[in-house]
Amino acid sequence: MKAKNALYAQSGGVTSVINATACAVIESARKSKNIKKVYAGKDGIVGILNEDLIDTSVENAKEIKKLMHTPGGTFGSCRHKLKDARQNKREYERLIEVFKAHDIGYFFYNGGGDSQDTSNKIAQYTKEAGFPVTCIGIPKTIDNDLPFTDNCPGFGSVAKYIATSTKEAALDVKSMSKSSTKVFIFEVMGRHAGWLAASSALAQSKDSSAPHIILLPEVPFDENKFLKKVKDSVNKEGYCVIVVSEGAKYKNGKFLADAGTVDSFGHKQLGGVAPQVAGIINKKLGYKYHWAVSDYLQRSARHISSQVDLDQAYAVGKAAVEFATSGENSIMPVIVRKKSKPYSWEIGKVELSKVANVEKKMPKNFISKDGFGITQSCKNYLRPLIQGEAKVPFEEGVIQTASLKHKLVKKKLKKFKV
């Protein structure tokens, strides 16, 4: 089989460990006889359509290894949904042109559900067009909502950040609650699945019941029931810590924080559920409050990443190259849990057609009866994923990160408007 070039790209919201996956793809491809060079799409699929391809072969091995402790998406990401070929054939034709012009035989797309859908569509189209390209989707999403994989690379580190931040903030609020703040609201990401908010419960211990309330997208928000829970917590413990998912919604399906706009994927733009909840509490109960939104901080906090998460992020990238060069196509590497105690896992695979556009939400047996917390079964699932401290090198007191050349390949095609 004639060696071909590989093309890797990052998509959607990035994570503190997605570059570990990039590192794995590049390092593994450099060892393969079937792959010549690895190009990276600048800013995801958008860069590929624009023929903005980064030549990773000019980067030395030491800088590539530094990607293991570099957060963000080193090659740039995007939110661009590739529509069905019947709706937007020109983009697919353009991809074929780019693939042909740069001798691309392997395509690795690192992202969440929409990205897996994109990988699947490209695999199908290139086959039908007579220029088959091996397409492997590589899982990544802090939302932990991809099906078939036990968990998603990127999630464990955010879960660790949230659990730790919840515990630290709870101690702060508790110390001030006698004469000052009674309620603290912590907003975390999670549009339709409450995995991230649920992870805050790992902060609970025999010495602390905080967070006292977790608002999940899977449980409709009942204002009266919620306010009673807040009041009971303040009366009993003197304070109340609330962790709320950005996707918390009313019974009619409307988000508490619906901003009235949508993003490029067609998802509702959500903004500020924490102040919304704080306003309800202040108006009805009059308690002094503080709120915080973790936003980008939770997914970029490489200084507190989980070692398990880092290991898994590298493993799926390595497996993607191994699957591709052994003849697999249109699949996604998945994490298979073998045991929870002691925790052990391995890499498996699933067809992309089964993954695309399927969202994994929290099962009912993971949610407490009152809907404001999680069960022991959920904690047993979550806890192994935050284990281990993935240490990072610091330079002059600040995290040290990779510094890549990002040299673009010379363009061979006419300009294209995305």
| Residue 73 phi, psi dihedral angles, 5° rounding | -110, 105
CA distance 237 to 175: 12
pTM of the predicted structure, to 2 decimals: 0.95
Q: What is the dihedral of CA 312, 316, 318, 320, to 10 degrees?
A: 180
Q: Where are the alpha helices (DSSP H) in 59-154?
A: 61-65, 89-101, 113-128
Q: pLDDT category, 268, cuts 50, 70, 90?
A: low
Task: Name residue 54's amino acid.
Answer: I
CB atoms within 10 A of CB 392: 18
What residue spans in the chain does CATH classification 3.40.50.450 cover?
A: 4-141+303-357+388-399
Whether the predicted pLDDT of 269 surpasses 60: no
Q: Homologous superfamily of 155-301 in CATH?
A: Phosphofructokinase domain (3.40.50.460)
Mean pLDDT score, 5-24: 97
Whether the predicted pLDDT of 281 surpasses 70: yes
With vertex at residue 397, the alpha carbon angle to CA 393 and CA 400, rounded to the nearest 5 degrees, is 35
Task: Name residue 16's amino acid.
Answer: S
Query: 373-402, pLDDT tens digit by residue?
Result: 999 999 999 999 999 999 999 999 999 999
Whether the predicted pLDDT of 264 surpasses 60: no
CA distance 199 to 155: 10
Mean pLDDT score, 311-322: 98
pLDDT at position 85: 83
pLDDT at position 357: 80
CA distance 164 to 346: 27
Q: Which tokens hold the place of 411?
A: 């363009």
Q: Which tokens hold the place of 173?
A: 């609020």
CA distance 38 to 8: 7
What residue spans in the chain does CATH classification 3.40.50.460 cover?
A: 155-301
Whether the predicted pLDDT of 261 surpasses 50: no
Mean pLDDT score, 250-268: 71
Catalytic residue among 55, 143, 145, 309: 143
CA distance 296 to 332: 26
Whether the predicted pLDDT of 263 surpasses 60: no
* Mean predicted lDDT score pLDDT of the chain: 95
Cα-only R_g, the chain: 22
Higher pLDDT among residues 356 and 331, named by residue: 331
**CATH class of the domain at 4-141+303-357+388-399:** alpha beta
Q: Which tokens hold the place of 159?
A: 């879960």
| Residue 235 phi, psi dihedral angles, 5° rounding | -65, -35
Tokens 């691309």 correspond to: 104
Query: 57-96, pLDDT tens digit by residue?
Result: 999 999 999 999 999 999 999 998 888 888 889 999 999 9
Please check whether residue 57 is in contact with residue 38, taking contact to mean a CB–CB distance below 8 angstroms: yes
pLDDT at position 255: 93
Residues sharing a CB contact under 8 Å with residue 296, sequence separation 6 or more, in sequence order: none
CA distance 18 to 316: 10
Residue 143 annotated among the catalytic residues of the structure: yes
DSSP 374: B
Q: pLDDT category, 150, cuts 50, 70, 90?
A: very high
pLDDT at position 83: 84
pLDDT at position 258: 77
DSSP 224: H
Residues sharing a CB contact under 8 Å with residue 285, sequence separation 6 or more, in sequence order: 227, 230, 231, 234
Q: Which tokens hold the place of 227?
A: 């306010």
